[in-house]
Amino acid sequence: MTEKKPRKTKKTTEKTTPSAAKSTKSTKSTKSTKSTEPPAIQGFKGPKVGSLQEMEKMMRQIQKLLEENEFESIEEANAFLQEALTSGQPLTLNQEETPLEKAQDIMYEAWSVPGKKRVQLAKRALKICADCADAYVLLAQESAKTLKEAKAFYAQGVQAGERALGPEFFEEQAGYFWGMTETRPYMRARQGLAECCLQLGETAEAIAHYQEMLRLNPNDNQGVRYMLLPCLLEEGDSEAVANLFQQYEDEASASWSYSRALWLFQKDGATEQTNQELQQALESNKYVPDYLLEKKKMPKQLPSLIGWGDESEAVSYAATALLAWHKTPGALQWLSATVAK
């Protein structure tokens, strides 16, 4: 029987670029552009001032501005938008904001202020509109004293997002979530809910949330696949693992390389192919074994940026995959023997 190791949840990710159409399949680079966020109850204070939420607010304003005008061509729309953005004047919208939009504006402000005022603003937003999912997200991160309390807030956020978007929206826009700014509060709430489930040992429920999020947003701007894959390996769901590898076949991260080697070891043992996969993983990031074999201690704070092939990537992977390696009989011994050669 293998000893169960405590789970240390990997930081979640959001793209820092406004383009929702770009695929998030990984390519080799010196430093990743992903901004990472720890889960609830582990010090997550929301997005940094002047970063993701400010950009998101501007994107929402641009979207509404374009919706208020009729254009005969894309070129005309682009020219209009270019003039509006370079005029130096604030974007002016003709339509009056809905209660939900007013509440969301308050939440954009809440992310940028320190201390207790954040919670006060979140509660104020909910008084204006109970369907403001981001308000529940902030309360989960700032007000909850336990994981169960955080989970309850996130669940309320998911329900609020579902009410705000409506069932037809989910049917018609599945596959395009996150690209539309109005879906992001819901996606943030659902990711928080999944992470709470994971930390509470409710792995099957977490897997269901992650899989649904990837169905809604296969571009995976939030990095959900990096949380889902270790869960599937822990559960021994070989078919689901194979499907995930196929869906993100161009993924080049250490997370994918080491997880593929572990998956093959689970299926076939230490075959020639499995050994080759592990060797490729070692070449992709030499620091991972030290953390999986616990030769190095995990830092108290997970890295805020992840660079391909460096130690931050190793820490990030080990934080989520350590339990899967420990639950696979013989896997750590195989890894240790391979490293020693």
Copy the structure tokens of residue 6: 């405590």
Within 10 angstroms of residue 54's Cβ, the number of other Cβ atoms is 15
Nearest to 15 by CA among 178, 219, 222: 222
pLDDT above 70 (res 296):
yes
Q: What average pLDDT does the structure give for the chain?
A: 83
CA-to-CA separations, 316 to 226, 227, 254, 300, in angstroms, rounded: 10, 10, 10, 12
Q: Which residues contact 217 (CB under 8 A, 6 or more apart)?
A: 175, 176, 177, 178, 179, 183, 187, 224
Rounded to 5 degrees, φ, ψ at 314 are: -65, -45
Nearest-10 crossing angle of helices 203-216, 184-199? 160
Within 10 angstroms of residue 261's Cβ, the number of other Cβ atoms is 24
Bridge-partner residues for 13, per DSSP?
Answer: 36
Bridge-partner residues for 14, per DSSP?
Answer: 35
Q: Summarize pLDDT for 246-267 with one digit per residue, the tens.
A: 999 999 899 999 999 999 999 9
User: Binning pLDDT at 50, 70 and 90, where does residue 304 land?
Assistant: confident
pLDDT above 70 (res 190):
yes
What is the pTM (predicted TM-score) of this model?
0.78
Q: Which residues contact 177 (CB under 8 A, 6 or more apart)?
A: 183, 186, 187, 213, 216, 217
Of 38-52, 71-85, 126-140, 159-173, the one with minimum mean pLDDT is 38-52
User: Binning pLDDT at 50, 70 and 90, where does residue 77 land?
Assistant: low
Copy the structure tokens of residue 86: 């370079």
